[in-house]
Amino acid sequence: MSQADKLFVAMCQEILDHGYSSQGQTVRAKWEDGTPAHTIKQFGIVNRYDLQEEFPALTLRPTAIKSAVDEMLWIWQKKSNNIKDLSSHIWDEWADENGSIGKAYGYQLGVKYKFPHGEMDQVDNVLWQLKHTPYSRRIMTNIYKFDDLMEMGLEPCAYSMTFNVTGDRLNAILNQRSQDILTANNWNVVQYAVLVHMLAQVSGLKPGQLVHVIADAHIYDRHVDIVREMIQRPQYPAPKFSLNPEITDFYDFTTDDILIEDYAKNPQIRNIPVAI
């Protein structure tokens, strides 16, 4: 059975059984009808995925893998902050009339900095270091830039990646300040698992471990019953994942270069309410 499913069930059970409720507090998020969107949360969830063992897509509820990767490439490859460059509509409500989400996400990864090896942006710095100094302990990105926060459509949730090579394996830590577990957890896990696969391939490495650190892991009040039903579903083996082996430049990857096989999964959950 899928290890990703097992981790997800254990995380949800921990939140539901021992989580802290925001009832009685003033909360920022609201439901579409204007009522406060309260949560049950756990602080400091850490999940570890071995990408050599399996591709961590949930079978409890199917993840739209190519759509998730399209958003990741929008941020990491296109370095875009405009929803017109994105296939899905998940960012529409945070964009202005021109489609911009401000100085957020992809914008920050495209900003150039001076490094000892030249002037380049954060993604190119990671690629350079993985090629030239793979055992460095300084291979990382950070898009939570305080002096630009007021010009962001949404402050970054997944804000930092730290890469670390062990032998011939590329490992990574994804730091996330906040996560809506039902709607976003496996979406983000899949995105950054694919990113590790891609960066490993173009750097002559193998994918290793992805460690996902979530500061505020929460389940919204209107998601509780959905989550309870979901974690009781049957679990299946993880799908098989591969990339087009001919791609040697990170900027050449597209969603067409992803192959997902044998993805046994439960039915999709429709009409999930989303807090804003």
| Residues of each annotated binding site | 137-138, 177-180, 188, 218-220, 275
DSSP-assigned letter for residue 181:
H
Write the burial class of residue 78 (CB in 10 Å: 0-12 exposed, 13-18 middle, 19+ buried): middle
**Residue numbering of the annotated binding site for dUMP:** 137-138, 177-180, 188, 218-220
DSSP state of 231: T
> What is the rounded (10 degree) CA torsion for 50, 255, 195, 242?
30
> Cα-flanking dihedrals φ and ψ of residue 221, to 5°?
-60, -35
Look-up: residue for tokens 């630009």?
148
Rounded Cα gap, residues 243 and 238, in angstroms = 16
Exposure string of 23-32, with b = 16+ CB inside 10 Å and e = fewer, is: eeeeeebebe
Check 64, 90, 120, 157 and give the catalytic one: 157
In this structure, what token pair is assigned to residue 13?
């059970």
Beta-strand relationship, 206-220 and 169-180 = parallel
Q: What is the DSSP letter of 38?
A: -
Q: Is 12 a catalytic residue?
A: no
3-class SS of residue 270: coil
Contact by Cβ (8 Å): 260, 65: yes
CB atoms within 10 A of CB 67: 17
Residues designated catalytic: 157
